[in-house]
Structure 1
Amino acid sequence: MPDELELLRRANPVPGDGPRFGDGPLDHRAERRLERLLSRPPAPRPASRARWPAAVRRLSAVASRVRFRPAPRPRPLWALTATGLVLATVLAALLGGPDTQPAVAAPRPLAVRAHSTAVPLDEMARLAAAAAAGGTPRLRKGTHVQSWSLGMSDGEPPVTLPQERVVRWRADGSRTEVVVATDPRRPGRPVVTDAGGEPRPVEDGHVLSRRTYPPSWSDAPPEAPPPHTAPALRAYLAETVRAGTLDTGELLLAVEELLGHWTLGARETAALVWVLADARGIRPAGQVTDRLGRPGQAYVYEAPGGARRMLILDPRTGTVLGLETTFTRDEPRYGVRAGDVMQYSAWLR
């Protein structure tokens, strides 16, 4: 019986010394194909990615390296699917879908309704005083605020960071603070956050922080209860921001600080609107719909340094609904343009 190894050698369909599969010279057909391959023009280079967000550029660079790297072993199908889902989630969160506004861009500023009635602040103050006659609602310590802020850095596109903060005080003077990544304009969509110092997408409703603070018995503003008369409240706000003269820009900063600690009652709201009515440079602009869908009266202050602040008040009670800050000039260093929203806060009861 012939040797089995010899039988296998004879059955080899591609012998090493075969004329068509060895390292010998090419035949005419092979030479023509090689000539066509060498004379083919190079493939066009991909379009520039300079306008792509940095996160997408990094993902693309990683993908280009991984694509040609031989894997040591086959990856299971579920792992490939998970990788694709993560990449799709990142791109959807950063670039937005076909029916959404891209999240990497600054949100559009609120638009004042054309030909709407602009109510002067002193008239709004009288409306707020009339609404306060009933004594409700009452002052409450704590706050509930939705905010949209613009994350900026040199050489990177700006990223809008929406979140919700709820602060509640207890009877013993301690308080809890919960911060959640959420955007009510896009319920259920991924939310971009800068937790950890790097913008990244998280699920809608993701808890960014949950803290409990020990009792605080400070009697200084803004921890102390705000007064409900205009002169006393103005002095309170000046002490809040450590300002002696309290110009209009400082006044609006103090209002933000106040509403970060307290939910004003009807009497405190009326006093605040009187303080705003006495401030210089705040002009009535007309009716708007805020980012939570509530109707409001807009009042605009052109702040020095390239910023415009819009205060939104409830048209019936004068309650502060929101405060928006927009750029009034381009800032190429940070990739923003005049009209982009720098920061927006919407307060809820």
Structure 2
Amino acid sequence: MAKAFEIAVSGTLARTWDSDTTERALPGLGALSPRQRLEALLDEINMGTEKLHRSVPVSSVAPTLDDVRSELEDVGPGGPGMDRLVAALRRTHVDLMRWCQATDRRYGTAYLLGRSLADAARHRRREDPASIEKSFSHGRQHQRGQWLTELSSALPEYAASVVRESLMFWTGAVADACRDSRRKADRLSALNNQLNAQADLWRSILTGVLDPRNLLVEQNNAAILSRMTLTYRDLLGLTIRRLWWPVVLPVLLVVGAVVILMALTSQGSAVTRTATALVAVGGGAFAVWQSAAPATVAAFARFNRPLLDQELVAEMSRQASWPLAKAVGTRTGSARRIRTGRLRRRAERGGAVHGPGDYVPALSDGRSPLGRPDRDG
């Protein structure tokens, strides 16, 4: 709906093919005239509304696009009737929003989220590149994050988390560009140029067309394994430092038992006493392991899935933000990688996890953008 509204307010709707398309060529979506793209979007809205209406268990009347199609037929080549078409689109948008909200709160939230993301992408076509700053303000990012959290159980797996992290990258990138007074216009223009591609990627992930796990390559899996190993090492060290008594106390008991046993078996050769002590140490260590292993394994199994999901989301979010990486120039090394250790230390100090300078990661070998080929040659 947001794309259809943008086409309607952009200018005159032509009734013919674009000038560079011959009669013998089969046009693609990009070669369609604004009128034909608008008609295709209306067809998509109509199909989506019918599909949603069939899935609703209660009896309700879904809004139709008859009013919009009627006004579209009256729009001439010179643009008469455009205001009535825009007004019809606005009324239909409000009707759809109210119907979705009344049918199911999740439907209404999803509609608002889609409108917000599409509206953010519209700013790339505006004459003022600085309007992107308003679209990615921290207030709007907070609202989108709330919507994604509410929809996380209804959306495909990892979709809400990946898009939320990617939006945080963009919010940080825009804020960082706005603080650069010397290159603000150039940096915002570069972000605007990639915003439409990023919005299409968000839409594909949220609608289930693209599984974000398919974005991962071998380097990403290796990075996840490396960070998981470091995390387990840190957790083990933290456990020993804070819960030392379950480890130290059994060891002291074993050592004490060995000393007592050696004292009781002082009669005999040194080899006999040493062998007896080793048997005692081995038996004690095995007893300690038997008592501590089940609890340790259960604790690690409990935290394994959340930790793995966290690392997967972080890596998939970076891969899903390749348009942003291209916009900020990861190839030149100007983008900085989000480092797990640095984020953990910052979180322990009570600071923000995602700073403006952490908005986009780079691969360990510096390739750009995030494992994707540079399509500009």
Point out the structure with the larger strand share: 1
Which structure: larger Rg?
1
